[in-house]
């Protein structure tokens, strides 16, 4: 048997396309408005900033390995059992832990065609097979997902609301999905944008987790709480799933600054309410104004919108992206999500939102 001349990754690793974040730079001399990563324009709670700063004198100490203070704060906010909460380095780490624990070589992980790119990466990294399901009107289709489930399926990922489309499934449809899955298939509800949703028929999944043995819900502090730089997420699940994930997570996987800032952030309900109010106003305004320009916008319940551009050489999404970038307006190209004719726009400050609409009016009018 031939011996490799250097270490070789396990099969499948080099098939993974690394995640590429949204752009974060503008041309020299141009004011930057970064609208590519769904960050909140309000920033974090001042209370979270203070809590973060207060830790500066204790940087030599390890954090609480169980993030007890933060888990108890989350439990108190939502009326949950703290022992069934697991915190991680963003919800990304939690998604990776789930696949590591529940997928083996050749097992299948299911997600929809415009779902979060990390699902595919996590499945492949665990040696599994990604199974991509068609959406209907840029929205997850429960019947199509159930039809894709086989004896090899171990996990179904559902981003609700979905990034980058901004669409969602009503809670009745989520419950129908769970009811149709075999009991040994894990349903992962990725609710990163749950706090922004203002629909009576929506639920993040906490209730379904409470009454099921095969459902977990992940959340993040990176979006409405404005703590993306600290990388902090959490998961709520059945005790047996949390126990399995606890056994493989890294020790001290959540840093002390994140624990302190997250604890303060989740308690500052006034700051969250202000972020929701801002988003409600400018999501509706930006969607309407772009519609007036003749652009199609997928209705969104998150803090971002998906803008569709014509498939023409001079008015394409690629051309629009270049035009906006020259003006310091950085949107997210979403070709990697199977949406080459679209750009995703984070709802930003009033100034940024107005500048994007004005710039796109110029772009569509053919002005240089």
Quote the pTM value. Answer: 0.94
- Taking only the tens place, the pLDDT of each residue in 287-342 is 999 999 999 999 999 999 999 999 877 899 999 999 999 999 999 999 999 999 99
Q: What is the pLDDT of residue 306?
A: 98
Q: What percent of the chain has pLDDT over 90?
A: 90
Structure-block tokens of residue 324? 């906006």
What pLDDT sits at residue 185?
A: 98
* pLDDT, tens digit (0-9, with 9 covering 90-100), for 246-256: 999 999 999 99
Whether the pLDDT of residue 368 is over 60: the answer is no
For 208-228, write each residue's pLDDT tens digit.
Answer: 999 999 999 999 999 999 999
Report whether pLDDT(4) > 90.
no
What pLDDT is stored for residue 1 in this prediction? 62
**pLDDT of amino acid 299:** 96
Task: Write the CA distances from 190 to 236, 250, 260, integer angstroms.
Answer: 11, 21, 24
Same fold across 22-43+270-364 and 46-267:
no
Residue 113 has pLDDT above 90, yes or no: yes
Whether 144 shows a pLDDT value over 80: the answer reads: yes
Contact 115, 157 (CB under 8 A): yes
Report the length, in residues, of the chain: 368
Question: 29-33, 111-115, 200-204, 276-280: lowest mean pLDDT where?
Answer: 29-33
pLDDT, averaged across the chain:
95
Please name the helix (run of DSSP H) or strand (run of DSSP E) that holds residue 333, with its range, or none.
Answer: strand 332-333
Statement: residue 366 has pLDDT above 90: no
Report the pLDDT value the prediction gives residue 295, as an integer from 0 to 100. 97
Angle, vertex CA 68, rays to CA 62 and CA 72, nearest 5 = 150
Task: Just give the CATH number of 22-43+270-364.
Answer: 3.90.1150.10
Contact (CB, 8 A) for 354 and 331: no
Domain boundaries, the chain: 22-43+270-364, 46-267
Reduced to 3 states (helix: H, G, I; strand: E, B; else coil), residue 107 is coil
What is the model's pLDDT at position 16? 83
Q: What per-residue confidence (pLDDT) applies to 367?
A: 67
Mean pLDDT of 105-120: 96
Structure-token pair, residue 224: 């409405």
Which is more confidently placed, 106 or 166? 166
What are the DSSP calls for 49-112, one per residue?
A: HHHHHHGGGGTTSPPPTT-HHHHHHHHHHHT--GGGEEEESHHHHHHHHHHHHH--TT-EEEEE
Mean pLDDT of 7-15: 82
Rounded to 5 degrees, φ, ψ at 153 are -70, 130
Band the pLDDT of 29: cuts 50, 70, 90.
confident
User: What topology is assigned to 46-267 in CATH?
Assistant: 3.40.640
Taking only the tens place, the pLDDT of each residue in 166-205 is 999 999 999 999 999 999 999 999 999 999 999 999 999 9
């Amino acid at each position: 048997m031939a011996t490799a001349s250097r270490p070789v990754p396990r099969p499948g690793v080099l098939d993974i396309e690394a995640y590429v974040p949204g752009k974060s730079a503008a041309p020299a001399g141009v004011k930057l408005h970064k609208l590519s990563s769904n960050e909140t324009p309000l920033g974090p709670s001042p209370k979270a900033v203070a809590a973060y700063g207060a830790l500066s004198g204790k940087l030599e100490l390890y954090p609480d390995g169980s993030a007890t203070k933060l888990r108890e704060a989350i439990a108190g906010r939502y009326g949950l059992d703290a022992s069934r909460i697991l915190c991680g380095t963003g919800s990304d780490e939690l998604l990776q832990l789930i696949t590591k624990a529940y997928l083996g070589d050749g097992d299948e992980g299911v997600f929809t065609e415009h779902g979060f790119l990390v699902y595919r990466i996590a499945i492949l990294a665990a040696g599994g097979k990604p199974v991509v399901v068609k959406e209907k009107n840029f929205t997850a289709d429960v019947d199509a997902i159930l039809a894709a489930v086989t004896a090899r399926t171990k996990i179904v990922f559902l981003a609700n609301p979905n990034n980058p489309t901004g669409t969602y499934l009503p809670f009745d449809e989520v419950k129908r999905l769970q009811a149709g899955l075999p009991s040994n298939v894990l349903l992962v509800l990725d609710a990163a944008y749950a706090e922004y949703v203002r629909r009576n028929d929506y639920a993040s999944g906490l209730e379904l987790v409470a009454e099921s043995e095969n459902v977990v819900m992940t959340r993040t502090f990176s979006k409405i709480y404005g703590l993306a730089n600290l990388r902090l997420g959490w998961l709520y699940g059945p005790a047996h799933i949390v126990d399995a994930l606890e056994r493989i997570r890294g020790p001290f996987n959540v840093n002390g600054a994140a624990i302190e800032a997250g604890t303060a952030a989740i308690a500052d309900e006034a700051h969250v309410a202000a972020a929701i109010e801002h988003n409600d106003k400018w999501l509706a305004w930006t969607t309407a104004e772009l519609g007036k320009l003749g652009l199609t916008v997928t209705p969104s319940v998150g803090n971002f919108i998906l803008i569709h551009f014509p498939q023409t050489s001079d008015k394409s999404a690629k051309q629009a992206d270049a035009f906006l970038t020259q003006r310091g307006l950085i949107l997210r190209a979403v070709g990697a999500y199977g949406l080459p004719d679209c750009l995703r726009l984070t709802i930003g400050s009033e100034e940024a939102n107005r500048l994007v609409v004005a710039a796109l009016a110029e772009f569509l009018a053919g002005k240089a």
